[in-house]
Structure 1
Amino acid sequence: MENSPPPAPAAAAQATRPDPVHRPEDPAPMRSPSPLRPPVAFPTLDSLAVFLRPRLPPGALASWGAVPGTKTLANLFLELAVGDCALHAPADAAPPPAPRVVRAVHVATVRIRNSRGARLVETRQLLSDGTVRRRGPRPLSEKMRPGESPEAAAARAVREELGARAHVRILGGDGARVEERESASYPGLPARYVLHAVDAEVVDGVPEDGEFETEETGEDDGDAGAGAGAITVKRHYWDWIDDDDDDSDSERKEVAAAGARAH
């Protein structure tokens, strides 16, 4: 069924390291994965700021939304509200430099191929503040919500980022892996990405040659409250990459970038 997920396969996680993110400097890698306490809930934007400020490096929170390519505190509040991510305190009481809070994100990365076998990658995004954010190249990706399978998130990503006219057949996934490092969107905030790779193929409604662009339909600017300060994606820019000598390492890096850069 087009743009509809098949039954989700069982996921087997393995730990790897992601590749550099969109900022010029590399974020410091985190320690190996550690147990996390249940997620922390925040009723207001101010309560989130009060919680984060003593748990982040000095000046980190002030950089959010001010440094090009980063998101704002309002973005994080909205992500938490809809279930796109969660904030956890590590279960152990290890001393610094152990993180005092971790942003956990499950990401579906969608490896879309066309009729000749080329892979669809996103090269950049136009944000609501006028910033153009370089993206890779990296595959289509979407943060998963509670109870959502990787295949369902992949189908949602197609609708929201490639548009209603795009018909893409979701083929299924091949497991998951865990990567940990500082968040690119929220400098100073450690992040744990669980990356679920999903394969898909174009049916119709998507240009299969050269570069093209699409409008984002899944993000809400928010006219009031926390949403008023959020930076959203307005436009996506895409290209097709042909495989050279079956470069699986290159494809692995693109999938890793989808977790580290976008989210």
Structure 2
Amino acid sequence: MRPPSPPRPLAFPTLDSLAAYLRPRLPGPALASWGSAPGTKNLLNLFLELSCGDCTLLPAASSPPALVVRAVHVATVRIRNRRGALLVETRQLLSDGTLRRRAARPLSEKMRPGETPEAAAARAVVEELGERARVRILGAAPEPRVEERESVSYPGLPARYVLHAVDAELVEGVPEEGEFDTEEAGEGEGHDGGGAAITVKRHYWSWVDDEEARGEAAPAAVAGAQ
């Protein structure tokens, strides 16, 4: 028997068509909270992600037919310094003034259609650490890891993250110890005539040992499952 074909990504020509599709498929107050609840992004952000291929929306095969899943391929870049410490992002400053806490996560970047994990990792270094940052890409893990949880940026919208781990070594261009921050260079100011997308303005980084990184990540995993 032929296995079932994977669901086709959904396409939306306008922002209004996306809103009309999502409204009956999300919990009542969810859509209204996007862009207004601290740390969330708005509907225009999702529309722009879909338009440029940063993510796809798929009918949720294992859920009631009213639900939809946001699918994202992500390159997670595990950059280490000379003593083996891991570079993690601790906070982000958003364009609406919100300071969003991150749970000690490595540099991460949504992958574009046809992009390899290594290419996405190299792009992430330039966009988030700056043009002066230099890292040596060592290679990607042979198999990605899949996580399914509700999106933090879009409350009420289930998400499937396909995580492609990429290992790298710092060469130069950013501090090798302690904490520092960088300016985001990869996110433009999207507009639809009636509003603006919420973008990341600054990234805050810290070098941590593996045990410290695992300790920070555990509460985040629990929170993400709630």
Note whether the superposition's TM-score is higher than 0.5. yes
Say if 1:142 and 1:226 are closer, same or farther in 2 by CA, change over 3 A.
farther
Structure with the larger RCO, 1 or 2 (CA within 8 Å, 6+ apart): 1
C-alpha contact 2:41 2:198 (8 A) present in aligned 1 = yes
Instruction: Answer yes or no: is the 8 Å Cα contact 2:103–2:216 preserved in 1.
Output: no
Query: What is the distance in 2 between the residues matched to 1:251 and 1:151?
Result: 27
Q: Could you tell me how far 1:239 is from its partner in structure 2?
A: 0.6
Deviations 1:156-215 (A, max 9, x none): 000000000000111111121111111111011011110111000001111101111100
- Find the partner of 2:174 among 186, 206, 217: 206
**Shift, 1:243, TM fit:** 3.5
Query: Which residue of 16, 30, 37 corresponds with 1:67?
Result: 37
Question: Which protein is richer in strand relative to its size?
Answer: 2
Letter in structure 1 aligned against 2:214: S
Q: Give the match for residue 250 of structure 1.
A: 214
- Mapped to 2, the partners of 1:233 and 1:165 lie a distance apart of 19
Residue of 178, 201, 208 corresponding to 2:146: 178
Say if 1:35 and 1:109 are closer, same or farther in 2 by CA, change over 3 A: farther
1:49 to 19, 31, 35: 19
1:208 and 1:99, CA in 2 relative to 1: closer, same or farther beyond 3 A? farther
8 A contact 2:24–2:66 mirrored in 1 = no
Distance (Å, rounded) in 1 between the aligned partners of 2:70 and 2:125: 25
Q: How does 1:110-125 map to 2 (within 5 A)?
A: 110-125=77-92
Correspondence 1:232 to 2:199: yes
Q: Provide the secondary structure at the position in 1 that maps to 2:12.
A: coil
Instruction: Mark the runs of 5 or more structure 2 residues left unpaired by the alignment.
Output: none
Cα distance between partner residues in 1 of 2:130 and 2:154: 28
| Other structure's SS at 1:129 match | coil
One-letter amino acid matched to 1:121? V
Instruction: Look up the match of 1:82.
Output: 52
Give SS of 2:144's match: strand
- Measured after TM superposition, the shift of residue 91 of structure 1 is 3.9
Residue identity in the other structure for 1:198: V
Aligned alpha-carbon RMSD (Å): 2.3
Matches for 1:89-238 after TM superposition, within 5 Å = 89-91=59-61, 95=64, 100-174=67-141, 175-222=143-190, 224-225=191-192, 228-238=195-205
Unaligned runs of 5+ in 1: 1-33
**What TM-score comes out, normalization by structure 1 length?**
0.77
> How many residues matched?
217
Distance 2:139 2:215 in 1: 17
After the TM superposition, list the runs of 4 or more consecutive aligned residues in structure 1 that deviate by more than 3 angstroms. Answer: 251-254
